[in-house]
Amino acid sequence: MTIDDVKNYSDFFAENISDLPENVFGLLENSNNGVSDYLTPMELGAQWLFEFTKDSQPLTGSLLQSSELFIYGRQSERWDGTTPNNEYHIHLGAEINNQIVIIGRKSLGWNPDDGTYSETIARINANLTKTWGRPISKVERHLSLPTPISKAYYHRLDGLDIPLSPAVGIYSRLLPFPINRPWETIDSYLASLKLKSKLDLIHDWFPRCKPERKSAPYTNLMIFLDTRPALSGKEGDVFFVKNHIQDGTIYYIRDGNIDNLMVLNEPVEAIDKYCHHVLMRDERRFDFMPYVSKFSI
């Protein structure tokens, strides 16, 4: 996908905040109402947005910081063909090596680097505790990762994506996923490969991973990076973390071989080199094997 594809798809394309249509600017200005806060990075620029990325992911961060940000979108179309005036699909993007990278970001106050983030989490936890009648806290999934990776991809942004089309779609590809677009549960991944019987092995390795309800997804074990271009088939590298024991360990499944589960020993260096590899459009498969060891209980 190229910048021309984005422009041909869009009802608007803005390289500056002043280029935004008035009604779109109004929507984004009220980002505390559930709309992604794209105005802050547009105002402060790629140097600010990817500052933490550059700190621990110097190869990837340098490429991202050298890019120019833009916002694009088009009006939402309902099932009956109507296009309501104030409903849009809006995205924040950058062009790197003639490919489009979509940048996730949450509403103002919901990004961990936002000044009011701790207040937002405290309010949610208070509401959860009141609702359930016992102390309960929201799971902050980015904390499951090693701190440098969490800060690089989930503090000022919410993951990255190289989509197949300007419409972007539900699932993200190739780079660390936005948390809610979504990180995939381990049972969903295994089911897609017709390997759900391997859940017994997962239960042995991670005794507390099972959901309380039998039909619920395994949100305690979630994939944040999947190198398979089409997100299907066994061939490719898949990485997951524990959300119930947030110790920063990253687990590695190569080519669907769950029996040979591995651990990423040098995750900061490995993920930086991998993401740089993808952004440089190197079509060869990245080799994670120098950075891993065999998993053991």
Q: Span 195-223, mean pLDDT?
A: 94
> Is the pLDDT confidence value at 241 over 70?
yes
Query: Average pLDDT for residues 81-96, to the nearest whole number?
Result: 82
91-120 residue pLDDT tens: 999 999 999 999 999 999 999 999 999 999
Q: What DSSP element (H or E) covers 125?
A: helix 117-132
- CA gap 223, 177 in Å, rounded: 9
Average pLDDT, the chain: 93
One-letter amino acid at 149 equals I
My answer on whether 196 and 224 are in the same domain is yes
| Block residue for tokens 């620029």 | 45
Amino acid at 118: S
pLDDT band, very low/low/confident/very high, at 88 (cuts 50, 70, 90): confident
Q: 21 and 154: one domain?
A: yes
Residue 190 and residue 167 in one domain: no
Percent of the chain with pLDDT over 90: 81
Is residue 33 predicted with pLDDT exceeding 80?
A: no
Q: What's the length of the chain?
A: 297
Name residue 163's amino acid.
P
Which of 123, 154, 175 is the last residue before a domain boundary?
175
Does one domain contain both 68 and 148? yes
* Boundary residue ending a domain (143, 175, 207): 175
pTM of the model: 0.93
Same domain, residue pair 150 and 195: no
Among 144, 175, 206, the domain boundary falls at 175
Q: Which domain holds residue 264?
A: 183-297
pLDDT interval class at 139 (50, 70, 90): very high
| Burial class for 232, CB neighbours closer than 10 Å (0-12, 13-18, 19+) | exposed
Note the pLDDT of residue 85: 64
pLDDT bin (cut points 50, 70, 90) of residue 172 is confident
CA-CA distance, 294 to 235, in Å (whole number)?
19
**What DSSP character marks residue 285?**
P
Whether 148 and 208 map to the same domain: the answer is no
Same domain, 164 and 229: no
Does one domain contain both 44 and 125? yes
User: What mean pLDDT do residues 60-70 have?
Assistant: 97
When mean pLDDT is compared over 63-67, 106-110, 161-165, the highest value belongs to 63-67
Q: 13 and 116: one domain?
A: yes
Of 296, 139, 288, 147, nearest in space to 225 by CA: 288
Q: Is the pLDDT of residue 32 over 80?
A: no
Cα gap 163→148, rounded to integer Å? 25
* Mean per-residue pLDDT, 258-276: 97
Same domain, 164 and 234: no
Residues whose CB falls within 8 Å of the CB of residue 247, separated by 6 or more in sequence, listed in order: none
- Statement to judge: residues 35 and 140 lie in one domain: yes
For residues 93 and 141, state if they share a domain: yes
Q: Report the domain count for the chain.
A: 2
- Report pLDDT digits (tens) over 49-64: 999 999 999 999 999 9
